[in-house]
Amino acid sequence: MNVWFLPPAAIAIAAQLAVGHACGQAAMAPGTESGFALFQKKCTTCHGNPAVERAPLPEAIRSMPPEKIYEALGPDGIMAAPGASLSDPERRRIAEFMSGRPLGSARLGAASAMPNQCRGNPQLPNPASAPQWNGWSSDAANHRFQSVAAAGMRAQDVPRLRLKWAFGFPAGVSANAEPAIVSGRVFVGSDNGFFYSLNATSGCVYWSFEAGSTVRGAATVASITAHAASRYAVYFGDGRANVYALDARSGALLWKSRVDEHFVARITAGPRIFKGKLLVPVSSSEGFSAGTPDYPCCTARGSVVALDAETGRRIWKAWVIAEEPKPYATQPNGVVLSGPSGGSVWNTPTVDPRPPGSEGWGTVLPMTGGFQTTEPVQGTYTYSISCAGA
Ligand code: HEC
């Protein structure tokens, strides 16, 4: 057994036979989400307030590394005054939530700093030539099953699995992303803002890519033709609603596309590739603030976005709630409430390729969480969107 790199938050992501399956949805870093409520309470009086012109918008603070936000709030920082009303753990929580990654991750996460780099980096063989688990599930219907041939193992082999290697995400706090195993490589995101490609047999690392924010959904690999030097692309989304296509062999960025403008919009599940389109589920962290009286709840809406898998160009965006949120009440504390909102899409869309009528039509089935309207109703539902050529 080879153990390459084992910081306190180390996570074993592969067993002796590669099986890409991890159930459960753990929270992000413990307590980190409460950083958002703290930000609403202590910071939005200026940040996001048009009357305070020089204060960067919350969205601009979200694109800063956690170290910069943490330092700004410290005794010598530019935000020492608001920072003084916070404890050190609270300052850390704000910094980590707003940036979407743990303190220290930018310095430690790059593959180039790791001792276990792969010696060569050959072309990827055809994915069909090796066992694989590509994306969140083995097919467009989101089945959690694959055949003996595709898995390269039988059910009765499972009790005999033993740890072969382990890989730790430097500065990582929790592991949410399901690894994709394609062409003998592991593709996996982490909450430290980096995305990694490893050798499935040895655990050596081919490359890392710094997305800059948590990557907590499964990645998907597919062939690509529009980029001369690239044969396969790996696709995933991050905690700031960016979608990336990287060259699967080298990790080079092919395109990046933002799929939602809301400042707490994020991608919490893997995209689905279907007939040349990348179907991306969009959710948000706004629910964490909904119970804070100071927060002007709520304006984020879930959606599914279709991108051209070759270029990242947006083809369509289907909102779970079609109506745009607008103000509907003012609380006694002066905070204006808006709605309807919610309907985050938390999972990889399921595609039903059967045509409801004409050829080229499909139905995308995103699973959503709760939603809120201006009426006093709450609910959870599964939603289906019929789109031309889905
Ligand atoms: C009283 C208004 C006010 C409050 C409250 C406030 N800020 Fe600021 N903040 C500002 C202004 C104004 C600037 C721009 C300062 C400048 O450029 O000189 C700023 C700048 C910043 C910067 C950028 C620092 C840099 O180096 O560029 C960060 C990060 C920041 N604030 C975080 C916060 C956080 C987090 C909170 C809540 C704990 C907070 N601020 C509360 C007014 C405020």
How confident is the model over 299-334, as pLDDT tens digits?
999 999 999 999 999 999 988 888 999 999 999 988
Q: What is the mean pLDDT of residues 373-385?
A: 50
- Whether 267 is covered by a domain: the verdict is no
Q: Could you tell me the CA-to-CA distances from 258 to 275, 283, 305 in Å, in that order?
A: 21, 13, 10
Measured from the Cα of 78, ligand 1's closest atom is 24
**Whole-model pTM?**
0.79
The residue assigned the tokens 């590739």 is 273
Cα 193 to ligand 1 centre (Å): 23
| Of 43, 62, 70, 90, best ligand 1 pocket probe by most atoms within 8 Å of the beta carbon | 43
Per-residue pLDDT band at 18 (split at 50, 70, 90) = very low
Does residue 80 have its Cβ closer than 6 Å to ligand 1?
no
Nearest of 333, 338, 299, 336 to residue 319 by alpha carbon:
299
Cα 73 to ligand 1 centre (Å): 8
User: Residues 18, 41: one domain?
Assistant: no
Tell me the percentage of the chain whose pLDDT exceeds 90. 52
pLDDT value for 202: 97
User: Residues 311, 377: one domain?
Assistant: yes
User: Residues 292, 381: one domain?
Assistant: yes
Q: What is the dihedral of CA 348, 353, 354, 360, to 10 degrees?
A: 130
User: Residues 67, 188: one domain?
Assistant: no
- Whether 78 is covered by a domain: the verdict is yes
Per-residue pLDDT band at 23 (split at 50, 70, 90) = very low
User: Residues 118, 192: one domain?
Assistant: yes
Cα 139 to ligand 1 centre (Å): 47
DSSP 345: B
Residue nearest to atom 42 of ligand 1 (CA): 55
Considering just the CA atoms, what is the radius of gyration of the chain in Å?
22
Does residue 161 have its Cβ closer than 6 Å to ligand 1?
no
Does residue 54 have its Cβ closer than 6 Å to ligand 1?
yes
* Helix 34-42 × helix 88-99 angle, to 10°: 100
Q: Which two tokens stand for residue 381?
A: 């539902």
Tell me the percentage of the chain whose pLDDT exceeds 70. 82
CATH of the domain at 114: 2.40.10.480
User: Residues 149, 288: one domain?
Assistant: no
Q: How far apart are CA 379 and CA 368, in angstroms?
A: 10
pLDDT, tens only, 348-378: 988 877 665 544 445 666 666 555 555 444 4
Does residue 38 have its Cβ closer than 6 Å to ligand 1?
no
The pLDDT mean for the chain works out to 83
User: Residues 142, 254: one domain?
Assistant: yes
Cα 57 to ligand 1 centre (Å): 9
- Which parts of the chain fold into alpha helices (H)? 34-42, 58-62, 66-73, 80-83, 88-99, 105-108, 148-151
User: Residues 291, 145: one domain?
Assistant: no
pLDDT, tens only, 269-291: 999 998 899 999 999 988 877 77
Does residue 37 have its Cβ closer than 6 Å to ligand 1?
no
- Whether 55 is covered by a domain: the verdict is yes
Residue nearest to atom 2 of ligand 1 (CA): 46
User: Residues 184, 215: one domain?
Assistant: yes
Contact (CB, 8 A) for 299 and 271: no
- Whether 144 is covered by a domain: the verdict is yes
| Of 39, 41, 44, 47, best ligand 1 pocket probe by most atoms within 8 Å of the beta carbon | 47
| Of 34, 68, 78, best ligand 1 pocket probe by most atoms within 8 Å of the beta carbon | 78
Measured from the Cα of 83, ligand 1's closest atom is 38
The count of structural domains within the chain is: 3
| Of 36, 41, 45, 46, best ligand 1 pocket probe by most atoms within 8 Å of the beta carbon | 46
User: Residues 232, 325: one domain?
Assistant: no
**171 has pLDDT over 80:** yes
pLDDT, tens only, 97-140: 888 888 988 888 999 989 999 999 999 999 988 889 999 998 88
- Whether 268 is covered by a domain: the verdict is no
- Whether 314 is covered by a domain: the verdict is yes
Q: How far apart are CA 259 and CA 168, in angstroms?
A: 30
Does residue 61 have its Cβ closer than 6 Å to ligand 1?
yes
User: Residues 48, 166: one domain?
Assistant: no
Cα 79 to ligand 1 centre (Å): 5
DSSP line for 259-318: ---STTEE--S--EEETTEEEEEEEESGGGTTT-TTS-----B-EEEEEETTT--EEEEE
User: Residues 189, 119: one domain?
Assistant: yes
Does residue 69 have its Cβ closer than 6 Å to ligand 1?
yes
pLDDT, tens only, 326-347: 999 999 988 899 998 988 888 8
Contact (CB, 8 A) for 176 and 216: yes
- Whether 272 is covered by a domain: the verdict is no
Residue 314 has φ and ψ, to the nearest 5°, of -75, 130
Nearest of 111, 81, 106, 108 to residue 96 by alpha carbon:
106
Cα 55 to ligand 1 centre (Å): 6
**Structural domain of residue 75, as residue ranges?**
34-99
